[in-house]
Structure 1
Amino acid sequence: MPPTDISFEAALDERVEHMLDACTRCGKCVEACPSVKPAGIADARPEDIIGGIIDLLRGGEGPEASRIWAASCMLSGECIRACDEGVNPRFLLAMARVAIAKSENELPQRRHQGVEKYRDLGRDVSVLSRLQLDGEVLERLGQKSASVTAPAETPDFVFYTGCNVLKTPHIALLALDIMDAIGISYQVMGGPSHCCGVMQLRPGDVEMSGRMGANTAEKLSQSKSGQVISWCPSCYVQFTETTLPTIERQRGARPFEMTPFMRFLDGRLAQLRPHLRQPVKMRVALHRHPGISGGVEAAVAILQAIPGIELVDLKQPAVGLQSFNLGVLPAFKRELQLGELAAASDAGVDALVTVYHSEHRELCAHERDWPFRIVNILELVGESMGLQQQDRYKQLKIMQDADLIISECSDLIAQHALDAGKARDVVVKAMLGDQPLPLKSGARPIELTPNS
């Protein structure tokens, strides 16, 4: 496609219209969606629900069931796999939410909402990472001069962390350790200074989302291979389904291609296997989210490559892009998490293994109350390779005491010149408050209905 002079928003609108023309309103996407039943719209005709989404995207009101479906999307991706017409219903639902946001608020208010969310994210990521890491390690993760200084030699890949994994930095550090061990040349980029634009898209500020995404895309395009290895699934979906295809429509080409880290590592198992020397004799279950195609399968293959690992299937539902995205149906999310913890206990596993950072944040403190560990998959890979990074986030969160956490981190608070009172506020809200399923001890009763 030849480059054009149209704006990001106009190019995005053209992509939406092209998909709407291709959609046959068959309803297969609705039938496949795991959000429909817990959202309470299972009695509506699937054809009417998708028809209402099309109506919303063409300026109409759409029926209530369609609005509920759009708001309840967990980004599971089942709808994409169900479509025979090459349409991406997950993308259309994101655009329907944008259309609803535009109808409810004028641009200044939408922009203000995006700015506030972006500032909150930046504050939480900055404080929680600095409560765990010194300046040298932050720089390794691209959060100081390394984020703006070009390497002496162009790397083979850019490793894009996204933002929120920096709250649980041991995961990102293990990813770097593993790449170092197998000889991958990379530059790390990420954090709020490399925003994917999703924080602006959600409240409906498409212009700012496109500006932020395009700015970050320019930074990420500096590698020999033209490949970006991504960690964050939200960033991956934002770039591959919204930003990059729209830039391609504007300019005639994409600045890079993006591969999720699990799939990247799975594709290099031949390089990885010789480094998996130490048996890890554990019976484990994998916490699964299917939103990125091939992601669960890659994680399974990686676990099975670790000598000594016995992988147990808990036969629990696997939905959503990552745990964060299930937050649109809170009671359903709590029910799934409680069911999985109970199933893991009944199965007698040694560990429940997370892949992404959001479920690790939400589940890790449950280790205190259940007879198994909560670990990230890269911890097990690292253990077999002789690599280790301390899960300081879990250690702190299990304390369940904001004052004690601040006291434990006093040296790093001083080193980074943080305001202890403001840091405590972040701990209360963004660490201890990030607990969808309450812990057993001293918690309010668990309520599994309704979805609120």
Structure 2
Amino acid sequence: MTDLSFEAALNERVGEMLDACTRCGKCVEACPSVRPAGIADASPTDVIAGVIDLVRLGEGSEASRKWASSCMLSGDCIRACDYGVNPRFLLAMARSAMRRKESDLATRRRAGVTRYRETSRDVATLARMQLDHAALERLGQGAATLAAKDEVPDFVFYTGCNVLKTPHIALLALDIMDVLGISYSVMGGPSHCCGVMQFRTGDTEMSGRMGTSSVDKMSSSRSGVLSWCPSCYVQFSETTLPAIERQRGAKPFEMTPFLRFLRGRLDQLRPHLRAPVEMRVALHRHSGVAGIVEAVLELLEAVPGMEIVDLRQPAAGLQSASMSVLPDYKRELQRAELEAAREAGIDALVTIYHSDHRELCAHERDQPFRILNILEVLGQSMGLHRRDRHKELKITQDADLIVRECEDLIAAHALDSAFAREVVVKAMLGDQPLPLEASPRP
């Protein structure tokens, strides 16, 4: 245990990484954001040198500022580095430094609080429009936990926040663990924030405070934490946990992405994949968390009857939401993938993460194939099913109809209907980067 504050521990690690960086530019050369960000003609060595200036001084070249602002968290830069530097983490610190240069702490803190409250509102409202009290408690949004109070669970399952907008995905994760005989407690939602929203506004002190609080709450299992949300995973594994390890001399726990965990338990899972799922599927891919695409492909291959088609599309970004920094590029990739999927004659396009699913699911209305999450496919083979209410509602493209469809749950949770409609318009129907076709296909 040291007397270091969170920010001091974070800055120590940053300093060591800056010293280790040779400014070779390989991270810039490997980055898929460079071309769509309009800096393909810039010198890679100059770009990374400018990023280091941003981290140290809050000022850097225009190309370096563009690169930092256009990071989709793809992770290619990490794999390209020969010196153990995490350029993705340095880019996050560069963006934080830019925010600090632009405004004072009070302004940045207000911005972080505003983002946090908006996310909390949207998540809570959409979850309550789909789930009753018992299901919400099962997802850690109430007093109940799944592990007995006098029993230490095998794992903490950390949902993050936004997966609660598509709660069938999180519930299927719990159902699969139940089948495998794994005990767990569930944490997540705004009350267990990873601090990424505060971090993005340049308020590293508040980000550390919130992230550390959540880490302490999660330190209650025998085997560590299973995480679902990739942005939470990156925030914890690349920022919060390393800083806490410097403060305390040890890491409180290991955090493992849930789909990599399932791949590691494939021998245990395989006997439960009994029912054939006769489908030709393609995977919507993101490369940001190492090993996830490979894990999902291996899980799909274990499902009897499954045929996997490679659409040969780029696997950029951490998840779809992370690509919002380059909206035109994201729409271009989504359009190309849907066209390739249609031409390939697949039965289903399989998503990995919740933001991928939210953004793509309504396109099922216009396409000759389904949009399914990987856990739905595994669940189908295991005899597990959760209704994808988010997709059903979003496909209607009618806010008033959605509110009417959910009126029983709106009443049960004492939600205001007009307020619920506002959230539907913004956080469900508005979450549509690539517009649907003008009229539905037959």
Is residue 34 of structure 1 aligned with residue 27 of structure 2? no
Q: Which 10-residue stretch deviates more, 96-105 or 53-62? A: 53-62
In structure 1, how many angstroms separate the alpha carbons of the residues matched to 2:152 and 2:146?
A: 14
8 Å contact from structure 1 (residues 236, 260) kept in 2:
yes
For 1:169, the equivalent position in structure 2 comes to 167
8 Å contact from structure 1 (residues 151, 187) kept in 2:
no
For 1:282, the equivalent position in structure 2 comes to 279
In structure 2, relative to structure 1, the CA distance for the partners of 1:309 and 1:149 (3 Å cut) is closer
Q: Which 10-residue stretch deviates more, 298-307 or 142-151? A: 142-151
In structure 2, how many angstroms separate the alpha carbons of the residues matched to 1:149 and 1:428?
A: 37
In structure 2, relative to structure 1, the CA distance for the partners of 1:358 and 1:60 (3 Å cut) is closer
In structure 2, how many angstroms separate the alpha carbons of the residues matched to 1:152 and 1:140?
A: 18
Show the 5 A alignment for 1:26-425.
26-146=24-144, 151-225=149-223, 227-425=224-422
In structure 1, how many angstroms separate the alpha carbons of the residues matched to 2:53 and 2:13?
A: 16
In structure 2, how many angstroms separate the alpha carbons of the residues matched to 1:248 and 1:26?
A: 29
8 Å contact from structure 2 (residues 283, 351) kept in 1:
yes
- What's the offset of the Cα at 1:224? 1.2
In structure 1, how many angstroms separate the alpha carbons of the residues matched to 2:434 and 2:395?
A: 14
Corresponding residue SS for 1:145: coil
In structure 2, relative to structure 1, the CA distance for the partners of 1:341 and 1:105 (3 Å cut) is same
- What's the offset of the Cα at 1:4? 1.5
- What's the offset of the Cα at 1:151? 2.7
Supply the AA of the counterpart residue of 1:368.
Answer: R
- What's the offset of the Cα at 1:150? 7.1
In structure 1, how many angstroms separate the alpha carbons of the residues matched to 2:149 and 2:23?
A: 50
In structure 2, how many angstroms separate the alpha carbons of the residues matched to 1:184 and 1:341?
A: 37
Q: Which 10-residue stretch deviates more, 117-126 or 147-156? A: 147-156
In structure 1, how many angstroms separate the alpha carbons of the residues matched to 2:104 and 2:146?
A: 35
8 Å contact from structure 2 (residues 147, 153) kept in 1:
no
Q: Give runs of ≥4 in structure 1 deviating > 2 Å.
A: 146-152
For 2:6, the equivalent position in structure 1 comes to 8
8 Å contact from structure 1 (residues 7, 250) kept in 2:
yes
Q: What RMSD over aligned residues (CA atoms) do the two structures have, in Å?
A: 1.1
Q: 1:428 aligns with which of 420, 425, 429?
A: 425
In structure 1, how many angstroms separate the alpha carbons of the residues matched to 2:54 and 2:163?
A: 34
Supply the AA of the counterpart residue of 2:342.
Answer: S
Corresponding residue SS for 2:57: coil
8 Å contact from structure 2 (residues 146, 186) kept in 1:
no
For 1:447, the equivalent position in structure 2 comes to none
Supply the AA of the counterpart residue of 2:412.
Answer: Q
- What's the offset of the Cα at 1:60? 4.9
- What's the offset of the Cα at 1:441? 1.8
In structure 2, how many angstroms separate the alpha carbons of the residues matched to 1:324 and 1:30?
A: 22
Deviations 1:420-440 (A, max 9, x none): 000000000000000000000
Supply the AA of the counterpart residue of 2:36.
Answer: P
Long gaps (5+) in structure 2: none
In structure 1, how many angstroms separate the alpha carbons of the residues matched to 2:403 and 2:347?
A: 31
Deviations 1:149-201 (A, max 9, x none): 97331101000000000000000000000000011111111000000000110
In structure 2, how many angstroms separate the alpha carbons of the residues matched to 1:47 and 1:150?
A: 55
In structure 2, how many angstroms separate the alpha carbons of the residues matched to 1:439 and 1:262?
A: 30
Deviations 1:239-284 (A, max 9, x none): 0000000000111111111000110000000000000000000000
In structure 1, how many angstroms separate the alpha carbons of the residues matched to 2:367 and 2:439?
A: 15
Corresponding residue SS for 2:144: helix
Deviations 1:362-397 (A, max 9, x none): 000000001100000100100000000000000000
In structure 1, how many angstroms separate the alpha carbons of the residues matched to 2:144 and 2:196?
A: 24
Deviations 1:280-315 (A, max 9, x none): 000000000010000000000000000001000000
Supply the AA of the counterpart residue of 1:106.
Answer: D
In structure 2, how many angstroms separate the alpha carbons of the residues matched to 1:158 and 1:32?
A: 35
The alignment covers a number of residue pairs equal to 440
In structure 2, how many angstroms separate the alpha carbons of the residues matched to 1:261 and 1:355?
A: 11
Corresponding residue SS for 2:225: strand
Corresponding residue SS for 1:434: coil
- What's the offset of the Cα at 1:317? 0.7
Supply the AA of the counterpart residue of 1:354.
Answer: T
Corresponding residue SS for 1:5: coil
In structure 1, how many angstroms separate the alpha carbons of the residues matched to 2:239 and 2:344?
A: 40
For 2:434, the equivalent position in structure 1 comes to 437
Q: Which 10-residue stretch deviates more, 140-149 or 249-258? A: 140-149
In structure 2, how many angstroms separate the alpha carbons of the residues matched to 1:412 and 1:104?
A: 43
Long gaps (5+) in structure 1: 444-452
- What's the offset of the Cα at 1:146? 2.4
Supply the AA of the counterpart residue of 1:178.
Answer: I
Supply the AA of the counterpart residue of 2:302.
Answer: A
Supply the AA of the counterpart residue of 2:166.
Answer: T
- What's the offset of the Cα at 1:148? 11
8 Å contact from structure 2 (residues 155, 221) kept in 1:
yes
Deviations 1:90-112 (A, max 9, x none): 00000000000000010000000
